[in-house]
């Protein structure tokens, strides 16, 4: 009956979204001000404090309370997106040039949903207007999230920190010496060595038992075998984020606007090639503003809005497939059919392992890196109270969220009640346990991103085409087989509460579990291939849409236009390492140094 554990993916979605009975509301305007002053980031202000010049000339100077706008007019760099790449990039560039960083969300500081590991799932469940996470559902029917906060994905992720492999660095064409200087710059400021939780130890030992070896101990490096990686969580559970890297910035050269939603990039089209000159953005009150680049040689617009936001913004600004833009009446700046193409998400499938006793909360600390192209990770302890699985979180709740894409006329009370009844049948002991997760590395399946409308606040249509390539499906099955071996190991058998009756009850319900919106094709527990398709969820490592060689060149300059780059995970063809956040932060620092040395000379002093 052990093979039936493969169906214990039940309630993964609850684990990430619905396990707590309440969440802390996003901070108010006065709290934003208090937080930024308390944390000594005087350059962070609300977008409504920005006052644009009435002139549309690119030589106009922003009238703003900060000190970074130059007397010659405009900013040397405008960075769109204060996320995982944008924060280290802005910090680095501010050492020698004036920088405007625009972030559509608020600040993470002292937001308890963001700041503490125990609220990880609550932060994702928060669907308020000021939430740090924005729910989106791919056309495949898989629930997902994109960050909407200063610090980006580092504010809402599971915290695991691990570098890309040396072969990845080589394929990317990066300078290994500079890469190995840029990672430590991040690590010294926000990365910790974790105190290994009991569940993580059990998974570590079980991985070694089943042959995922050698044991590489604690390391940031990407190595085959089993290892313990870094974390951005302190021992007490407090989260560090990329936003804290801004503390290393030159405060005289940096303006950071929060709640600044960029609607489009503006171009001068009178020359041979379109040239980026500014941005139009709206503040938290909906008022529009325009900021401009300086006329100084080398000034640039840099998009760091993530794998969803960056291709979306290029399209809204007129860079993309001509016919698609024409349908939405978007003026064409440059016809590029590859914008939004090559979208990929690493599929995840999971097994929930009920335990006899309470288990300490933990997010990703241990990982098994196999040569089969599958990574095994684990988390535990997020079932907090007997009534927590019955809570209501509005549109993203267990009752309603699963039906959120169903037309209202079909969203019947009977359907909602049936869903609630299935939840209530789940034995409470199932929540005293942990998850074993498998991620498919470098999936072959690809999709695309398309605009639905011209409202930047709305999610575009994103398709990942999970398991459309047979190799991905084979890897998923191999990963499930590894997880089956883990569960059979002595490290689990003596601690689980899964007797034959409990296991069978979970199995019977798992085929009806609404962890995604994908129609279930079979109840055949022997079909691991179908199980992979039916129970796929995300691990939030989506990437692509602005690939190198297709949308940007090897210096990340956007093809066909001047003074515009994209620097973030949308340029990746493969998600680096077992988890990408380390490499995305490194990339921000790395490219900041590259840009500075390009303008100032290789001997420029950069700290």
List binding-site positions for FAD.
Answer: 103-104, 149, 262, 540-541, 569, 580-581
**What distance in Å separates the CA atoms of residue 565 and residue 306, rounded to the nearest whole number?**
13
With b meaning 16 or more CB within 10 Å and e meaning fewer, what string describes 183-221?
bebbbebbbbebeebebbebbbbbbbbbebeeebeeebe
The 3-state secondary structure of 63-88 reads ECCCCCCCCCCCECEEEECCCCCHHH
Asked if residue 396 lies in contact with residue 143, where contact means CB atoms within 8 angstroms, the answer is no
Q: Which of 121, 259, 541, 543 is catalytic?
A: 541
Q: Do β-strands 44-46 and 254-258 pair in parallel, antiparallel, or remain unpaired?
A: parallel
Please, which residues bridge with residue 271 across strands?
Answer: none
DSSP secondary structure letters along 548-582: BTTTB-TT-BBTTSBSEEE-SGGG-SS--SSSSHH
- Please work out, in degrees rounded to the nearest 5, the angle formed at the alpha carbon of residue 538 by the alpha carbons of 536 and 544: 120
Asked if residue 191 lies in contact with residue 232, where contact means CB atoms within 8 angstroms, the answer is yes
**What distance in Å separates the CA atoms of residue 365 and residue 194, rounded to the nearest whole number?**
7
DSSP secondary structure letters along 431-442: GSEEEEEEEESS
**Residue 107 buriedness (CB in 10 A; 0-12 / 13-18 / 19+):** buried
Which amino acids are annotated as binding site, given as ranges? 103-104, 149, 262, 540-541, 569, 580-581
**What distance in Å separates the CA atoms of residue 117 and residue 95, rounded to the nearest whole number?**
33
**What distance in Å separates the CA atoms of residue 87 and residue 154, rounded to the nearest whole number?**
11
Contacts (Cβ under 8 Å, ≥6 apart) of 385? 20, 21
- Please work out, in degrees rounded to the nearest 5, the angle formed at the alpha carbon of residue 404 by the alpha carbons of 413 and 411: 25
Catalytic residue at 541? yes
Active site residues: 541
């Amino acid at each position: 009956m052990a093979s039936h554990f493969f169906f214990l993916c039940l309630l993964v979605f609850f684990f990430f979204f619905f396990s707590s009975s309440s969440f802390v509301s996003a901070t108010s305007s006065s709290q934003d001000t208090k937080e930024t002053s308390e944390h000594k980031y005087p350059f962070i202000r609300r977008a409504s404090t920005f006052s644009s010049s009435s002139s549309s000339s690119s030589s106009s100077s922003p009238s703003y309370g900060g000190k970074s706008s130059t007397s010659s007019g405009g900013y040397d760099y405008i960075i769109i997106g204060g996320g995982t790449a944008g924060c280290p990039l802005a910090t680095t560039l501010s050492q020698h040039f004036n920088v405007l960083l625009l972030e559509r969300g608020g600040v993470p500081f002292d937001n308890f949903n963001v700041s503490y590991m125990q609220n990880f799932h609550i932060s994702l469940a928060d669907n308020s207007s000021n939430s740090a996470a924005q729910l989106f559902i791919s056309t495949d029917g898989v629930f997902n999230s994109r960050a909407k906060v200063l610090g980006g994905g580092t504010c809402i992720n599971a915290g695991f920190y691990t570098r890309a492999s040396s072969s990845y660095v080589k394929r990317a064409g990066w300078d290994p010496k500079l890469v190995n200087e840029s990672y430590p710059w991040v690590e010294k400021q926000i990365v910790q060595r974790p105190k290994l939780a009991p569940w993580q130890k059990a998974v570590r030992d079980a991985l070694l038992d089943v042959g995922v070896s050698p044991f590489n101990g604690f390391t940031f490096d990407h190595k085959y075998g089993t290892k313990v990686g870094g974390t951005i969580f302190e021992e007490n559970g407090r989260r560090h984020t990329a936003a804290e890297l801004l503390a290393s910035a030159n405060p005289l050269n940096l303006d950071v606007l929060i709640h600044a939603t960029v609607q489009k990039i503006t171009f001068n089209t009178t020359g041979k090639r379109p040239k980026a000159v500014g941005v139009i953005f709206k503040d938290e009150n909906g008022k529009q503003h325009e900021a401009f680049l300086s006329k100084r040689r080398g000034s640039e617009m840099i998009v760091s809005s993530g794998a969803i936001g960056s291709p979306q913004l290029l399209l809204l600004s007129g860079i993309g497939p001509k016919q698609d833009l024409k349908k939405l009446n978007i003026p064409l700046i440059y016809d590029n059919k590859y914008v939004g193409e090559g979208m990929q998400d690493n599929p995840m499938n999971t097994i929930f392992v009920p335990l006899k006793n309470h288990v300490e909360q933990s997010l990703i600390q241990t990982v098994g890196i196999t040569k089969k192209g599958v990574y095994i990770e684990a988390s535990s302890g997020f079932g907090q109270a007997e009534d927590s699985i019955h809570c209501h979180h509005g549109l993203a709740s267990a009752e309603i969220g699963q039906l959120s894409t169903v037309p209202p006329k079909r969203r019947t009370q009977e359907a909602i009640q049936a869903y609630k009844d299935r939840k209530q049948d789940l034995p409470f002991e199932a929540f005293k346990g942990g998850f074993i997760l498998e991620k498919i590395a470098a999936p072959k399946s690809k999709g695309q991103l398309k605009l639905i409308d011209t409202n930047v606040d709305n999610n575009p249509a994103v398709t990942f085409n999970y398991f459309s390539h047979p190799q991905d499906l084979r890897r998923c099955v191999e990963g499930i087989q590894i997880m089956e071996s883990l569960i059979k190991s002595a490290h689990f058998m003596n601690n689980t509460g899964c007797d034959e009756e409990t296991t069978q009850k979970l199995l019977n319900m798992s085929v009806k579990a609404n962890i995604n919106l994908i129609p279930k094709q079979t109840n055949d527990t022997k079909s691991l291939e179908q199980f992979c398709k039916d129970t796929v969820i995300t691990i939030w490592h989506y990437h692509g849409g602005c690939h190198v060689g297709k949308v940007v060149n090897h210096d990340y300059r956007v093809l066909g236009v001047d003074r515009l780059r994209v620097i973030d995970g949308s340029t990746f063809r493969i998600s680096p390492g077992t988890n990408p956040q380390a490499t995305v932060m490194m990339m921000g620092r790395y490219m900041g140094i590259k840009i500075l040395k390009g303008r100032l000379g290789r001997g420029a002093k950069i700290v």
